[in-house]
Amino acid sequence: MTLDPILRDVRKARERHAAQFNFDLKAIFADLKRTERRRGSKVLEPPPKGEALPNPALQRTRFARR
């Protein structure tokens, strides 16, 4: 099975990044969060559990009648 070249490149980049932190997940996560803050990325927080979503179209419809 041949891998998609883009997928192969993404996995190589991820492997190189993880190797920089000796594959320590906490260090990798901390680096990603630092990068987010430095770039000014807007991070959306999920709503608290039990709170309705603002848009009813986004609410679960598992038991909705069709």
For the four alpha carbons of 16, 17, 18 and 20, in that order, the dihedral sign comes to: positive
pTM for the whole thing? 0.55
Mean pLDDT of 55-60: 62
Domain ranges for the chain, please list them.
1-40
Angle at which helices 25-39 and 5-20 pack, to 10 degrees?
A: 110
In tens, the pLDDT along 2-54 reads 779 999 999 999 999 999 999 999 999 999 999 988 988 777 777 777 766 66
